[in-house]
Amino acid sequence: MDYLVDRMRATPADELRVVTRPDKPDVAFHARRLGARVVEGTPSSVAQSVRLGVEDLDADDVVLIGFPDTIWEPLSGFAELLGALEGNDAVLGLFRTPDLARSDVVVAEGERVRAIAVKPAEPPSELIWGCAAVRRSALERLAEHDEVGHLLDDLARAGRVCAVHLSDSWLDIGTPEALARAQERA
């Protein structure tokens, strides 16, 4: 979580929010120590977590989305996304990775995102999105989707999503197996 918070703090964010379950008091305690607002709930998916985290925001607010179980560069990643948001509903931070099995794979032409394949059996590219800047108004239809990537795919197919290739430095540590692989690489 600290790694992600550092990246958000390198951007002019008004408020940091961490969505967590009531049965994870250690996460809530640590988030508060970092100065984040803790939003507790029992979401069953990432899409529901995002919905919970943005409930009371205005339609013209911009939401930065990141995942605390990933490590990536550069520190200025969210600032780069915000810089490309003009005229778009969402900007995705792209990373090249060989570990595509648990990711949303992005099909892009230049800076324009054409489609997003959510955890595909046959990945259409080696690019994934790992962070995003999204207008709150674009998240209105999130309740209709079980995955954030499905909503982003709809927006991309409508020509409303662009991307910034941030780096090829991406590490997922969200499962015991992924953490073990990361420790083997270190």
Look-up of token digits 């925001």:
57
Rounded to the nearest 5°, which phi and psi values hold at 143? -65, -20
pLDDT score for 2: 93
Residue 158: CB atoms within 10 Å: 9
Helix ranges (H only) for 17-173 are 25-33, 46-54, 77-83, 148-157
Give the chain's domains with CATH numbers: 2-185 (3.90.550.10)
pLDDT score for 137: 97
**Rounded to an integer, what distance in angstroms lies between the CA atom of residue 156 and that of residue 91?**
10
Residue 112 contacts residue 127 (beta carbons within 8 Å): no
Helix (H, G, I), strand (E, B) or coil at 182: helix
pLDDT tens for the chain, 186 residues: list them. Answer: 999 999 999 997 899 999 999 999 999 999 999 999 999 999 988 899 999 999 999 999 999 999 988 999 999 999 999 999 999 999 999 999 877 878 999 999 999 999 999 999 999 999 999 999 999 999 999 999 989 999 999 999 999 999 999 999 888 887 777 777 767 766
pLDDT score for 175: 73
pLDDT score for 79: 96
Which class for 107: exposed (0-12), middle (13-18), buried (19 or more C-beta within 10 A)? Answer: middle
Instruction: List, in sequence order, every residue forming a beta bridge with 133; answer none if it has no partner.
Output: 64, 91
pLDDT score for 185: 67
